């Protein structure tokens, strides 16, 4: 069997949001510096902040300030995650033109996270879609716990697809499946991507893997073989898992870039610049990050003899 891998992929750097949200709070200056360093790596999309209630997520309390202070590089798109309609209004007022909304495929996870049923969240998301579109902004529907839930275990593929399909019917511009706690494996990736595409042919799809159980890049490879060409990753592998202390976070951007580029897949990202940003992220959070390419260096780096 042979596969046609994409010749290029689009990466969204989520370290400043998903990563930092799962770290101890860092100063605003350090957040702005990190986003600015990432803007110089060649990455074309950065999820910069989330507009959540500061009491809910203190790490994002300065979202408005970070959003207004980052240096916008030409050719880079900056997005923000919003948890609800109120957050969407805040984000749109701040000038965000690319929003991400999120719902858990798992009922229990959604109830624990936002105290609403999945259906209630989807109703509010429909209102966000309408408002954002009136304001000329695009909205991505992120379905979290798409490959499993820390409370419920496996979430049926049919349920995940039904949740995503509802948002697509309501006007979501694209869909992202989030492996919130690193429960995906390549077989499960194939199953979900296949079922989603059957139900929603032509809908743009992003995949968001966490490397909590070491299957992150294997999942990316499975998705590449299906022609998926849009992935989230976080610099240094920033961010842990709120349910498992010590567990690793998102797949590391430099590991993904390192692998993809060697496979002849263009990412547009400079690995050297990215490694510098990863080192900066490590200094900002004050501890070692899980990225192995950050530790070992690129495979092309040789020891002087
Ligand atoms: Zn995540």
CA 72 to centroid of ligand 1, rounded, Å: 24
**Ligand 1 center–CA 303 separation, angstroms:** 35
What is the rounded average pLDDT of the residues 222-238?
Answer: 97
List, for residues 77-92, the tens digit of each pLDDT value.
Answer: 999 999 999 999 999 9
Show me where the domains of the chain are located.
10-296
In the reported structure, the alpha carbon of residue 141 is separated from the centroid of ligand 1 by a whole-number distance in angstroms of 13
- Count of H helices and E strands in the chain? 12, 8
Average pLDDT of every residue of the chain: 95
Give the CATH number of domain 10-296; options: 3.50.50.60, 3.40.50.2300, 3.40.1550.10, 3.20.20.70. 3.20.20.70
CA of 176 to the centre of ligand 1 (A): 11
Digit-coded pLDDT (tens) for 23-70 = 999 999 999 999 999 999 999 999 999 999 999 899 999 999 999 999
Ligand 1 center from residue 29 Cα (angstroms): 23
Choose, from 88, 129, 172, 241, the residue flagged as catalytic: 241
> What's the pLDDT score for residue 253?
98
Q: What is the per-residue pLDDT for 246?
A: 67
3-state SS track over 130-196: HHHHHCCCEEEEEEECCCCECCCECCCHHHHHHHHHHHHHCCCCEEEEEECCCCCCHHHHHHHHHHH
**Per-residue pLDDT reduced to its tens digit, 232-276:** 999 999 987 666 666 778 999 999 999 999 999 999 999 999 999
pLDDT of residue 4: 84
Q: What are the tens digits of pLDDT across the range 162-212?
A: 999 999 999 999 999 999 999 999 999 999 999 999 999 999 999 999 999
Looking at residue 170, its pLDDT comes to 98
Of 39, 13, 28, 92, the closest CA to residue 63 belongs to 28
By C-alpha distance, which of 42, 267, 17, 255 is closest to 142?
A: 17
Is 241 in the active site?
yes
Residue 1 has pLDDT above 90, yes or no: no
Is pTM beyond 0.85? Reply is: yes
pLDDT at 240: 75
């Amino acid at each position: 069997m042979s596969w046609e891998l994409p010749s290029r992929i689009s990466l969204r750097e989520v370290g400043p949001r998903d990563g930092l949200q799962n770290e101890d709070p860092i100063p605003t200056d350090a957040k702005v510096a990190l986003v600015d360093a990432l803007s110089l790596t060649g990455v074309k999309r950065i999820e910069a902040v989330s507009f959540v209630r500061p009491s809910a997520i203190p790490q994002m309390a300065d979202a408005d300030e970070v959003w207004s202070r980052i240096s916008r590089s030409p050719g880079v798109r900056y997005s923000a995650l919003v948890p609800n309609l109120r957050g969407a209004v805040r984000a749109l007022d701040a000038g965000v033109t690319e929003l991400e909304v999120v719902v858990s495929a798992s009922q229990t996870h959604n109830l624990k996270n936002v105290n609403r049923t999945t259906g209630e969240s989807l109703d509010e998301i429909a209102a966000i879609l309408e408002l954002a579109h009136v304001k000329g902004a695009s909205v991505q529907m992120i379905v979290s716990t798409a490959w499993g839930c820390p409370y419920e275990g496996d979430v049926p593929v049919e349920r995940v697809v039904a949740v995503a399909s509802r948002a697509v019917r309501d006007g979501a511009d694209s869909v992202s499946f989030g492996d919130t706690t690193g429960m995906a494996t390549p077989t499960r990736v194939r199953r979900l991507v296949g079922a989603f595409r059957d139900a929603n042919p032509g809908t743009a799809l992003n995949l968001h893997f966490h490397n909590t159980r070491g299957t992150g890049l294997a999942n990316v490879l499975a998705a590449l073989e299906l022609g998926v060409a849009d992935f989230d990753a976080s610099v240094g592998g920033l961010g842990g898992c709120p349910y498992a202390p010590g567990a690793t976070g998102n797949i590391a951007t430099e590991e993904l870039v390192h692998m993809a580029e060697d496979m002849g897949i263009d990412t547009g990202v400079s690995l050297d610049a990215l490694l510098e940003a990863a080192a900066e992220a490590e200094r900002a959070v004050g501890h070692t990050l899980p990225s192995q390419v950050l530790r070992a260096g690129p495979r092309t780096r040789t020891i002087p003899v």
